[in-house]
Amino acid sequence: MIRWIIFVAIIGIADYYAFQSLKTVTKSNWWYAIYWIFTIVVIGNFIFQFYGFNRSSGFSQSNALAVGFLIALVVPKLILITVMFTEDVFRVPQGIYSYFMQDDSASGNQIKHFPSRRRFISQIGLGLATIPFASILYGMYKGKYNFKVLKYTLHFEDLPKAFDGYRLTQISDIHSGSFDNINKVEYAIDLINEQQSDVILFTGDMVNNKAEEMAPYTDIFKKLNAKDGLYSILGNHDYGDYVRWDSGEEKKQNLENLKAIQKEIGFDLLLNENRFIEKEGERIALVGVENWGKGGFKKAGDLKKASSNINKEDFKILLSHDPSHWEEQVINDDYHYHLTLSGHTHGMQFGIEIPGWFKWSPVKWRYKYWAGIYKELGQYINVNRGFGYLAFPGRVGIWPEITVIELKKGQKEA
C-alpha cells in the first residue's frame, strides 16, 4: 500500500509541474488533450498490467511494455520537475516577500504576489525532457537489438604457449522470454559465428523464468559453432525462482527441461564442474560454477567443488554469472583464477558510454564491477553487458554485447 501511495505522489507532483510548463508554452487545448490522454493511457495500462499480476505466469512482454512506456512517461517529467522546481526556488521567496511587504489595500486592486512563470524556462525544461523521452523510445524500438562486438586482448605471462592468440567469445543473459523479433536474434547468432573464436562461453540467464521461453529460438542457437565447443553455466533466472509453481516437482522439471535445451543447442553445461581444453600437449581449465550472488541471490555456486581436480598452477578461466562472486570469493582465493567471465548486471540497460573513455550507469551504485574489463591482484574479470534484456524492454546507451577476448602470452607492450 505504501508503494502505491509513493507512486501516486510522485506521479501527481510530476504531472503538476509538467502541465504547468506546458501551459506556459502553449494555450492549445489540443496539446492539453494529447498530454492527458497519453498520461492516462500509460498509467492506466500499467495499473491494469500489475494490479492482478499472476506470478504463476511470470513477467510477460505486455508487462514489460507497460514498464517501458511508464518509464518513458515519468523520466522526462522528472527532468521537468528539476527545471521547474529550480525556478520556484526564486519564485516562492519573491511571492512571500510581495505578500507581506506590498500593501494593496490603498489602491483597492488585488496585487499578483507570485511572479508568472517565465516562458523560456518552461521551453528549456520541455526541450531537455524530450532527450530522455526520445532516447527511451529509441531504446525500446531499436536499442535492444543494437548488438555490439567488443574486443579485448589480455596478456598473461603464465599462459601456455600453445594458447598464445587463443580467442574466446562470451555471451551472457540471453533472457529469451523477452525477445519479440526472431530475425534480430538470428542476426546476432550470425554475428557471433562471424568472430570465428576457438570457443564460445555462455555465462547464464538463458530464460526469464521458464524453459519453454527458449523454444522459439532453440533452432537458431543450434547454429552456434566453435572449434573447441560451447560451454555454459546457470544464472539466477534459470532456476525458476521468480514464478509461483504449482509444485516443487514442476519447478524441478522446468530446470531439467532447460538443461536438456542447453544440451540440444550444443552447450556443455558446467554445474560446479570443470573441463580441460588441450592443445599441443598443453591445457587450460574451464571452471563453471552455479549461480552465486550477494544481496539475496541464490548461492548455489561451489568454487572448491568446481575446481576439485585442477592443479593450482593450471591456467584457469572461471565462468560465474554474478560479478559479486568474483569480489567476495574469487579474487582472494589462493588458486588464482586468471580470467573470470560474468554477466548479470546488464549495465542496467541504461547509461552513458564512450568506449575507451567514459562509462556510467546507475548500476554502479549496486555493483562495483558492472561492465567491461577489470583487474585486481593480477586477475581479470569481464562483466558482459548482456545479450538480451529484462523488465525494461529496451536499452539506452548500454547496448547488447558480444565479447571477444584474445589471450596473449607475455606482458603487454608499453
- Rounded to whole angstroms, the Cα distance separating 227 from 209 reads 31
- Name the amino acid, one letter, at 23: K
- pTM here? 0.90
- Rounded to a whole number, what is the largest CA-CA distance in the chain? 103
Question: In the chain, where are the structural domains located?
Answer: 2-141, 148-409
- Name the amino acid, one letter, at 88: D
Taking the mean position of all CA atoms in its chain, how far away is CA 353? 14
Superfamily of the domain at 148-409: Metallo-dependent phosphatases (3.60.21.10)
Q: How confident is the model at residue 349 (pLDDT cuts 50, 70, 90)?
A: very high
Is residue 404 a contact partner of residue 169, using CB atoms and an 8 Å limit? yes
Q: How confident is the model at residue 90 (pLDDT cuts 50, 70, 90)?
A: low
Strands 166-171 and 401-409: antiparallel
Phi, psi for residue 67 in degrees, rounded to 5: -65, -45
The answer to which of 119-123, 134-138, 365-369 has the lowest mean pLDDT is 119-123
Q: How confident is the model at residue 116 (pLDDT cuts 50, 70, 90)?
A: low
Q: What digits encode the pLDDT tens for the residues 379-411?
A: 999 999 999 999 999 999 999 999 999 999 998
Given a cut of 90, whether residue 156 has pLDDT beyond it is yes
What does the mean pLDDT of the chain come to?
A: 91
- Rounded to whole angstroms, the Cα distance separating 179 from 217 reads 9
- Rounded to whole angstroms, the Cα distance separating 27 from 23 reads 6
- Rounded to whole angstroms, the Cα distance separating 159 from 165 reads 10
Query: Can you spell out the DSSP letters for 181-208?
Result: -HHHHHHHHHHHHHT--SEEEE-S--SS
- Rounded to whole angstroms, the Cα distance separating 126 from 123 reads 5
Segment holding 34, helix H or strand E:
helix 29-51
Q: How confident is the model at residue 3 (pLDDT cuts 50, 70, 90)?
A: confident
Greater model confidence, 14 or 323: 323
* pLDDT (mean) for 283-293: 98
Q: What digits encode the pLDDT tens for the residues 22-42?
A: 888 899 999 999 999 999 999
Query: Can you spell out the DSSP letters for 150-183?
Result: EEEEEEETTS-GGGTTEEEEEE----GGG---HH
Q: What digits encode the pLDDT tens for the residues 235-280?
A: 999 999 999 999 999 999 999 999 999 999 999 999 999 999 999 9
- Dihedral of CA 55/61/64/70: which sign? negative
CB contact set of 57 (below 8 Å; sequence gap of 6+): 243
